[in-house]
């Protein structure tokens, strides 16, 4: 379970960094929250806007962590976020592998980091949920928040509390069902992509995260890193 221990900081450079620096002092499932981050990190070395008003947190998983399960953590976190947003009246969808979107705009991001080789020492799941931010500057047409969608302020602690409940319920529930929830909210299936200069359609996602793409001539199984989903959004 996560969240037996929750530590809240007014400011950190990055909650993921804090977890990685304090691995040995943190128990499995501990959550680190920061009201703001001075160096919030996103995917592909991007910065993650991290001023007051949104939720920024990371948790550590130390028990039975295997690289082959990395996609499972993505599925569990994404489905927990979708359920949480739904409880606050927001219908979000999943952009494979781990962004949640509302009306094609990003509302949450997940940054998973790990250490070790096939049997991992730990993984850190870092999550940012846009809650009360209303101006996204240059990203106004790409990002949104709970407040932008529903025009009201939300209590950040309440959102975290619901996320933790949902995540722990998911840990207890049937993993096939959780994966089905992930697929049912996933917007990439049926979308066209280019792979090695050939046109394909994404037909499915496997439980380990591999994508199945097909065209009239061929069906292929490809890893996320092998295709660009940029053209889809
Ligand atoms: C993305 O680019 O989509 C991933 C963004 C992840 C942001 C969160 S905020 C909490 C945690 N700490 C960080 O520095 N990054 C993650």
pLDDT > 90: percent of the chain: 79
Closest CA to 105 of 78, 143, 134: 143
- Which residue among 9, 98, 128, 159 is best mutated to probe the pocket of ligand 1, counting the most ligand atoms within 8 A of its Cβ? 128
* Alpha carbon of 175 to ligand 1 centroid (Å): 25
User: How far is residue 124's CA from residue 21's CA, in Å, rounded to a whole number?
Assistant: 11
Is the CB of 69 inside a 6 Å radius of any atom of ligand 1? no
Is the CB of 54 inside a 6 Å radius of any atom of ligand 1? no
Q: How does pLDDT run across 96-142, given as a tens digit for each residue?
A: 988 999 999 999 999 999 876 666 689 999 999 999 999 999 999 99
> Atom 2 (ligand 1): residue with closest C-alpha?
42
Bridge partners for 61 per DSSP: 123
pLDDT at 45: 85
Q: Residue 208: pLDDT above 50?
A: yes
pLDDT at 13: 98
The pTM (predicted TM-score) of the whole model is 0.94
Q: What is the mean pLDDT of residues 179-195?
A: 92
Is the CB of 1 inside a 6 Å radius of any atom of ligand 1? no
Is the CB of 109 inside a 6 Å radius of any atom of ligand 1? yes
pLDDT at 6: 98
Mapping DSSP to helix (H, G, I), strand (E, B) and coil, where does residue 187 land?
Answer: coil
Long-range contacts of 220-228 (CB under 8 A, 24+ apart): 220/195, 222/195, 224/96, 224/97, 226/195, 227/193, 227/195, 228/193, 228/194
Is the CB of 127 inside a 6 Å radius of any atom of ligand 1? yes
Residue predicted with more confidence, 198 or 167: 167
User: How far is residue 106's CA from residue 61's CA, in Å, rounded to a whole number?
Assistant: 25
Q: Residue 78: pLDDT above 70?
A: yes
> In the structure, what pLDDT confidence band is assigned to residue 186 with cuts at 50, 70 and 90?
very high
pLDDT at 92: 98
pLDDT at 116: 65
Q: What is the mean pLDDT of residues 177-197?
A: 92
The size of the chain, in residues, is: 233
> In the structure, what pLDDT confidence band is assigned to residue 228 with cuts at 50, 70 and 90?
low
């Amino acid at each position: 379970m996560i969240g037996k221990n929750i530590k809240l900081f007014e400011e950190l450079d990055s909650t993921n960094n804090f977890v990685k620096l304090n691995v040995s002092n943190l128990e499995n499932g501990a959550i680190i929250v920061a009201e703001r981050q001075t160096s919030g990190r996103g995917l592909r070395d991007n910065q993650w806007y991290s001023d007051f008003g949104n939720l920024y947190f990371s948790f550590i998983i130390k028990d039975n962590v295997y690289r082959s399960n990395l996609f499972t953590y993505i599925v569990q976190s994404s489905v927990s976020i979708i359920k949480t947003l739904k409880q606050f009246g927001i219908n979000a969808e999943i952009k494979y592998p781990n962004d949640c979107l509302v009306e094609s705009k990003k509302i949450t991001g997940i940054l998973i980091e790990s250490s070790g080789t096939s049997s991992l020492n730990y993984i850190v799941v870092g999550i940012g949920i846009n809650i009360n931010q209303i101006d996204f500057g240059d990203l106004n047409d790409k990002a949104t928040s709970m407040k932008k969608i529903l025009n009201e302020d939300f209590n950040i602690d309440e959102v975290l509390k619901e996320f933790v409940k949902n995540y722990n319920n998911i840990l207890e529930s049937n993993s096939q069902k959780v994966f089905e929830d992930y697929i049912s909210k996933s917007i990439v299936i049926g979308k066209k992509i280019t792979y090695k200069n050939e046109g394909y359609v994404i037909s499915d996602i496997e439980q380990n995260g591999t994508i199945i793409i097909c065209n009239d001539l061929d069906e292929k199984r490809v890893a996320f890193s092998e295709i660009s989903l940029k053209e889809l959004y």
